[in-house]
Chain A
Amino acid sequence: MIRFLSKKILILILSLFMVATLTFTLMQMIPGDPFTQEKAVPEEILKAMFHHYGLDQPWHVQYLKYMKGLITWDLGPSFKYQGRTVTEIIKEGFPVSMTLGLEALLLSIFCGVGLGCIASLKHLKWQDHFTMVIAVLGISVPSFILATFLQYLISMKLDLLPVARWGSFEHSILPAIALSALPMAFIARLTRSNMVEIMQQDYIQTAKSKGLNSFQIVTKHALRNALLPIVTYLGPLTTAILTGSFAVEKIFGIPGLGQWFVMSITNRDYTVIMGTTIFYSTILMVSVFLVDVLYCFIDPRIQLMQKRVKV
């Protein structure tokens, strides 16, 4: 177990280093800089700005300085939002995206698995077709269309919930639904196809013949095996959903982290680009790692590392 962990952590650090280096290089290559603006300013003023922010140093110096900062988790100040450090931006934005993401995640897992089960138990009946139509819609309608539609229907026509903003539980309902549609549909389809296969297995037949009711069969025997592929999907999904979505955050005016991924690039806000990328990569790698660990709890047949077979 310890060997497994240390190996994984080592890979994680190495990958982060690669991500940081690659992002830094790519970032230096895009045209424009944080101070490019419509009304161009004289050379001496630009020079003063570059000097003020240390951008006049050769870029290997900037790189080393940045790497040093990264190790101590000092991601530097934002160039555009001058008084705020990247760490502060992440600290403020991430909890918002996480709250919304968790709501969406729970909603998508709960409804997705539920719909999937219903569809598989009523295989090829109208319930099955109905749920799969919903699933196809969920996959094919982009979140920003759904968001606009919900805003129009629920907030403007029915006057039930606020149009946008962030602050209370009410404000999070519509964005959570918009965010959860795609993963919910995906999970529903995955659950259904796995369940259909598993429900025909011998051990399910045995359970049935022992007189267990279908609720017990599904929860105790079938679902446990059917969930395995979903857990695999949960790693990247959790990362994506917890770090926020640009489109949904923009439409509902949510001060989350998602918008920063896009905004930092448009602003050429170098430190924020680096910070958010590293942060995203860390969460992604950690959640993939957690999924690996989670496997062995769900399925004891999977072992973290193959035991050495003595020849």
Chain B
Amino acid sequence: MKILISICLLFFALVGCQKKSHPFDENRQVLRMNIHTEPPTLDARKATDTSSISIINTCFEGLMKRAKDGSIHPAIANKFKVSEDNLTYTFYLRDAKWWDGKPVTARDFENTWKTILSPNFGSGFANDLYVLKNARPAKIGEVSTDEIGVRAIDSKTLIVELEKPVPYFLDLIATHSFLAVPMHIATQYSHWADNCGPHFVGNGPYILDKWKHHNFMKLIKNPHYWDRDSVLLDEIELTIIEDETTELNMFESGELDWAGSPLSTLPTDALQALAADNRLQTYPLSGTYYYIFNVREPPFDNLNFRKAFALAINRQTIIDNITQSDQSPATSFIPPTIWKVESHFKDNDLAEANHLFDVALKEMGYTRQTLPTITLIYNTSSAHHKIAQAIQEQWFQAFGIRVKLANKEWKVFLDELSHKQFQVARMGGIASFKDPVTFFDLYKYPDSCNNFSGWSNPQFTHLIETAEKTTDPAKREEFLRAAEKIFMAEMPIAPIYYYTGTYVKKGYVKGILLTELSEADFKFAFLEMQ
């Protein structure tokens, strides 16, 4: 026993003297963060997940870029021109270089987009590019990719033709879907972007210097970047750790400078304590957390029944006790970051909910006793589970019926949603660009692949289609607002809250731009003691 104890003591004595947390050093600008999951690929033509896109946005730059306030400003393109009919955009590229010193050309953009849209290329977001002329026909093989509305007339000029006017086209251009990849490399090496090495070449402010899969990444300042003087950080060190509690522990013990959004999340259990210490930071995101009703099956095919369930939810209680990150109760589909919200109903309107519930039962010929069991499904996660439990209780208090809860593994959950094998399901999502259309598109047609609820309304479809053709912004908003009114009057979904991002950071971390689309821009980040 004595030997054991002394071995243990020796062990700790040896390692005890060499410990880690290197304090902040102003001469070496190194930002240390954690990314929640390993990026599956850094090929901008293929990535669809948030962690890949975060790194891609740091290593690549597109024609336009989004600023903190949501406005769009030129990046690789230094200016652009729009035709009078809003169908043709001409982008003039600045002198920018890939990391290997080769120039970034208009042809790189043309060829990248055409590859994404070629029928045999496996890209999960090719439909984002369907705004381009002939894009969809090319993807399904009806026309050649040469007929897609994008062409480089010289190395610095790119002409983009659209299928129809898209008022938010510049917003789209600023997303990762419209980046360019170095075609001189991508055509030669199919896996150029899956490892760090000489083949992985970008054009953004930071160079990927090291990538140990599932372990860590190191990004360093790009000396070839066109706006290199604005980049202040020397390095960004990213650990890849999935466990949120571990990440927060590393932050607390000084191994990380930042924990939480947008590269990861904070553990829900820690939010209250962090908020009590005044350390929790929040910022609004363009997204809504909501429950979907399957309107194709009884009892949720009944409008009053759906309304009753939506009105009976007490959103504020959920925010105060469960989510606890400064969210606001959602009484509309489109979040306030996109436009000024019009409230379409009152949160926790129990009297009205009860009235509507009774009417609905009468209409369907049920009583409270004969009503079939209702099941609420959600993907396995402690946060969704807690919210579901609260809403189950609220519905029980309001109507005296006990809804069954069922958690599902992620892909099983999605499979049941797409086959409409559910009654009520949780859903939510962050907008991919800053326009209401990103939300309405989901419900535009009854057979839209993301229309899990199965709801449709010809008037709604007509309004969205009219808005698409309208170029006058004020008129367009009018049509879209009218569409939202119809949508919320028919309640295929019950909005719950508008998303926020939460994080904690060390005081010396400054200048990271967090956008409401849950992106981070590290270009202007720096470290400075107060």
Give the B-binding residues of A (Cβ under 8 A): 30-33, 35-45, 48-49, 51-53, 80-84, 92-93, 111, 114, 118, 127, 148, 151-152, 155-156, 159-167, 169-170, 173, 250-253, 255, 259, 266, 268
Contact = CB atoms under 8 A, between A and B. Distances in A.
28 contacts: A31-B411, A33-B411, A35-B124, A36-B414, A36-B418, A38-B414, A40-B414, A41-B124, A42-B127, A42-B449, A44-B140, A45-B123, A49-B123, A81-B40, A82-B46, A82-B191, A83-B191, A111-B4, A118-B1, A160-B15, A164-B241, A165-B216, A173-B15, A251-B243, A251-B245, A251-B246, A253-B242, A255-B213
Given A52-B122, A160-B15, A155 B140 contact: no
B140 A253 contact: no
Interface in B236-265: 239-243, 245-246, 249-250, 252-253, 255
Contacts, number: 158
A32 B415 contact: yes
Main secondary structure of the interface of A (DSSP, over half): loop
A83 B250 contact: no
A35 B40 CA distance: 13
A255 B411 contact: no
Nearest to B256: A163
Given A35-B124, A83-B191, A268 B246 contact: no
A250 B48 CA distance: 23
Contacts of B432: 39
A96 B191 CA distance: 24
A53 B212 contact: no
A45 B127 contact: yes
Interface stretch (B16-24, B335-343, B395-403, B492-500): B16-24
A111 B4 CA distance: 8
Contacts of A166: 215
A163 B212 contact: no
A94 B442 CA distance: 43
A267 to B, nearest CB: 8
Instruction: Please name the 3 residue pairs, one residue from A and one from B, whose CB atoms are nearest each other, closest first.
Output: A83-B194, A32-B411, A253-B241
Nearest to A256: B214
A218 to B, nearest CB: 14
B364 interface: no
Contact of A32 (B12, B19, B245, B414): B414
Interface of B: 1, 4, 11-12, 15-16, 18-21, 38, 40-41, 43, 46, 48-49, 119-127, 136, 139-140, 191, 193-195, 212-216, 239-243, 245-246, 249-250, 252-253, 255, 409-412, 414-416, 418, 429, 432, 449-450
A170 B15 contact: yes
Contacts of A259: 214, 242
B139 A170 contact: no
Contacts of A251: 243, 245-246
A127 B2 CA distance: 12
Given A118-B1, A152-B249, A31 B120 contact: no
Contacts of B240: 253, 255
B249 A255 contact: no
A164 B121 contact: no
B13 to A, nearest CB: 10
A173 B410 CA distance: 34
Nearest to A32: B411
Given A163-B246, A251-B245, A252-B246, 20 more contacts: A30-B412, A31-B412, A36-B411, A37-B48, A38-B429, A40-B450, A42-B449, A48-B126, A81-B41, A81-B213, A82-B191, A83-B193, A84-B194, A93-B214, A114-B4, A156-B252, A164-B239, A165-B250, A253-B242, A259-B214
Given A37-B124, A44-B139, A51-B120, A82 B242 contact: no
Contacts of A33: 411
B214 A255 contact: yes
B124 A45 contact: yes
Nearest to A35: B124
A253 B34 CA distance: 11
Contacts of A48: 119-123, 126, 139
Contact of B40 (A82, A93, A114): A82
A37 B414 contact: yes
Nearest to B200: A83
Given A40-B449, A44-B140, A48-B139, A159 B253 contact: yes
B249 A163 contact: yes
A45 to B, nearest CB: 5
Given A38-B429, A48-B122, A52-B121, A160 B19 contact: yes
Contacts of A163: 246, 249-250, 253, 255
A155 to B, nearest CB: 6
Contacts of A152: 249
A126 B255 CA distance: 42
A234 to B, nearest CB: 21
B415 A36 contact: yes
A128 B21 CA distance: 41
Residue of B43, B46, B250 with most chain A CB atoms under a 10 A cut-off: B250
B253 A156 contact: yes
A161 B246 contact: no
Given A31-B411, A163-B250, A255-B214, A148 B191 contact: no
Given A38-B414, A266-B410, A52 B120 contact: yes
A162 B418 CA distance: 44
Nearest to B4: A114
A255 B414 CA distance: 28
Contacts of A164: 239, 241, 243, 246, 249-250, 255
A114 B7 CA distance: 13
A70 to B, nearest CB: 22
A251 B245 CA distance: 8
B43 A82 contact: yes
A161 to B, nearest CB: 6
Contact of B411 (A159, A161, A266): A266
A82 B241 contact: no
Given A40-B418, A152-B249, A266-B410, A81 B38 contact: yes
Residue of A30, A162, A163 with most chain B CB atoms under a 10 A cut-off: A163
Contacts of B41: 81-83
B15 A253 contact: no
B402 to A, nearest CB: 27
A35 B418 CA distance: 13
Contacts of B412: 30-32
Nearest to A157: B253
A120 B41 CA distance: 56
A117 to B, nearest CB: 11
Nearest to B428: A38
A111 B19 CA distance: 26
A33 B267 CA distance: 29
Nearest to A252: B246
A72 B416 CA distance: 38
Contacts of A169: 15
B430 to A, nearest CB: 10
B409 A266 contact: yes
A151 B246 contact: yes
A100 to B, nearest CB: 13
